[in-house]
């Protein structure tokens, strides 16, 4: 399970938190970010910053 992280000052989505508490930045060179994208493509659950489950595949398409 992944959850988007919102910067409290800018309200922009700045990264992803995993179920184990790790924070993944949106950096294509980061191997955890690459794993996050693969997991979403494979059907992993993604939550928005408020905790609502969202469509991970649609979110991936927005990142491209």
Model pLDDT for residues 2-17, shown as the tens digit of each residue? 999 998 899 888 899 9
pLDDT computed for residue 14 by the predictor: 85
DSSP code per residue over 15-60: EEEETTS-EEES-TT-HHHHHHHHHHHTT--EE-TTS-EE-HHHHH
Residue 63 has pLDDT above 80, yes or no: no
Supply the mean pLDDT for the chain.
91
pLDDT computed for residue 64 by the predictor: 64
pLDDT computed for residue 55 by the predictor: 94
Structural domain boundaries in the chain: 2-63
pLDDT computed for residue 61 by the predictor: 86
């Amino acid at each position: 399970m992944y959850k988007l992280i919102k910067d409290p000052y800018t309200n922009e989505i700045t990264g992803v938190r995993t179920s184990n508490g790790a924070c993944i930045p949106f950096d294509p060179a980061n191997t955890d970010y690459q794993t996050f994208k693969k997991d979403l493509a494979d059907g992993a659950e993604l939550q928005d910053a408020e905790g609502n489950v969202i469509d991970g595949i649609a979110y991936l398409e927005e990142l491209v």
